[in-house]
Amino acid sequence: MLDLLQELGRWSLKGLQRLGRSNVFMLYVLGGIPMCVRRPRLVITQMFAVGVLSILIIFVSGLFVGMVLGLQGYNTLVDFGAEESLGVLVALSLVRELGPVVSALLFAGRAGSALTAEIGLMKATEQLSAMEMMAVDPLHRVIAPRLLAGIIAMPLLAAIFSAVGVFGGYLVGVGMLGVDDGAFWAQMQASVEIREDILNGVIKSLVFGVAVTWIAVFEGYDTLPTSEGIGRATTRTVVNSSLAVLAFDFILTALMFNK
């Protein structure tokens, strides 16, 4: 019984320790942001890795999610003779929820895991220590640009996801199922608010961007410097950041759309 309690205590202390470490780590990394502004080249290179290379998956999944929403929404709405509201349904669900959340999950799988593996390998092969030997702070030189790039890229990816998704819904709804073109856009424009919906969606994706990239770079930096450790850290990145995204989504939704 006591052993069980001890186990629980050790487990929670470990968790709290990690949390504290990640906060101190974040503080140091934020100290490196001014350097990134002075040397934007570092950030741009990372933007290529996390942003440009994620575009394809974001684009394709956005299109398909939008198309599925169009099909499913139409099938439900047509029973009530309300198929003109398809645009509202597609746009609101994409802009408020699916755009930020699904693109954050994809981002965690596509870019977050790569970040963790990259930084973990740098640590395992002692590149980070080598940098310190040369009086270059790896937190500033390696981590900060990656964090900044992830935070910038995430809202852009979510916006692309939502826009492509709406287009996918339009393709299926208007092109395939014959919903009226004008009603589709007009009802959408009447119901979607710039501040209420779109801005909140952008804020959501920004929060997710911070959470996912933070977890990814921290897991990479905190990994055991072995090949097994890197593997575990990569798994943890994907699992933890997905959980974080879903939990934050609930909190943010409750705060934003609670009338």
Min CB(172)–other proteins separation in Å: 16
Nearer to other proteins, 137 or 196 (CB): 196
- Min dist. Cβ of residue 198 to other proteins (A): 5
Helix, strand, coil in percent for the chain, rounding step 5: 90, 0, 10
Q: How far apart are CA 62 and CA 64, in angstroms?
A: 6
Give the torsion sign (CA, 163, 164, 167, 169).
Answer: negative
Nearer to other proteins, 27 or 56 (CB): 56
Binding positions for other proteins, rule: CB under 8 A: 41, 44-45, 47-48, 51-52, 55, 91, 95, 152-153, 155-157, 159-160, 162-164, 166, 185, 188-190, 192-198, 202, 259
Query: Which lies closer to other proteins via its Cβ, residue 152 or residue 216?
Result: 152
Structure tokens at 177: 């199922």
**Reduced to 3 states, what is the DSSP secondary structure of residue 140?**
helix
CB 26, CB 214: distance < 8 Å: yes
User: Which residue lies nearer to other proteins by CB, 184 or 218?
Assistant: 184
CB of residue 165 to other proteins, shortest distance in Å: 10
Q: Cα separation of 169 and 155, whole Å?
A: 21
- Beta carbon of residue 242, minimum distance to other proteins (angstroms, whole number): 22
At its nearest, how many Å lie between other proteins and the CB of residue 38? 17
By beta-carbon proximity to other proteins, the closer residue of 106 and 157 is: 157
Q: Are 149 and 43 in contact (CB under 8 A)?
A: yes
